[in-house]
Amino acid sequence: MSEHKPDTASELNHQETARFVVDLFQRLILHHGLWYAEAKHQLGAERALPLLAEASRKSTAIQLRHLAEMFGFTVQDGIPSFLLDMEPERLRQLKERLAKNWLVNDGVWFQTIEFAEGMNEAKRCNDSCWAQFSPAEAHAIKEFLGLEKECGLAGLKRALGFRIYESINSQSIGEETATSFVFQMNKCRVQEARKRKGLPDYPCKSAGLVEYTAFARAIDSRITTRCIGCPPDDHPEEWYCAWEFSLAKE
């Protein structure tokens, strides 16, 4: 008996349709990201980031409404009711799982390029990706928290507590002055995993310089960033990387 090869998605069997649905989620995410990438290319980041926020709000509301009608849940203030009904500990676990999934996706992309094209190409793509993601994440956090355009060091301190990393790593803020503070990544899942395997620290300084500088500048363009230490730099046991953020008094 010859294997059935459907000519259209409507001819898929039940299992194949389920697999196709999973694929559709991936395409939706990809298309959303490509729209932002093209808007940024055509209009510049300063204009594209507010457009990303507006399109995301509208699209998410429409998608949730349609899914709510299909699966029988309600939406309250943009939040699916099943999330509001979830036990607090279970909801916290979901938050952490999503953050870990983000990190897994990041690692898979890095290794995919590394194995296909080599470490230098993987690092180059990684650094460029952070240059795009950091300001986008900063803008999303500013929208979520309702921070002002020039929210200063106080705004940056709050924003750092809402990054995806906060849900999966251990971080702290110290050495605060009137014009600066120091941010430390005390435990890093990536570096801790390498440590357990007996591997040296991953040299992430080039990405970190892009990541933290772009994030701080997107929170408030007046803030400057200085790397105190980040692998391959030597560092004490209590942190893997440390960054000083400064804002001169006017």
User: pTM value?
Assistant: 0.90
Domain residue spans of the chain: 11-85, 87-250
Looking at residue 1, its pLDDT comes to 47
The overall average pLDDT reported for the chain is: 94
Looking at residue 5, its pLDDT comes to 82
pLDDT band at 182 (very low <50, low <70, confident <90, very high): very high
Q: What is the pLDDT of residues 34-49, one digit of tens each?
A: 999 999 999 999 999 9
Q: Span 87-250: which CATH code?
A: 3.30.1380
Looking at residue 250, its pLDDT comes to 59
Q: What is the pLDDT of residues 121-145, one digit of tens each?
A: 999 999 999 999 999 999 999 999 9
Q: What is the 3-state secondary structure (H, E, C) of the chain?
A: CCCCCCCCHHHCCHHHHHHHHHHHHHHHHHHHHHHHHHHHHHHCHHHHHHHHHHHHHHHHHHHHHHHHHHHCCCEECCEEHHHHCCCHHHHHHHHHHHHHHHHHHHHHHHHHHHHHHCHHHHHHHHHHHHHHHHHHHHHHHHHHHCCCCCCHHHHHHHHHCCCHHHHCCEEEEECCCCCEEEEEEEECHHHHHHHHCCCCCCCCHHHHHHHHHHHHHHHCCCCEEEEEECCCCCCCCCCCEEEEEECCCC
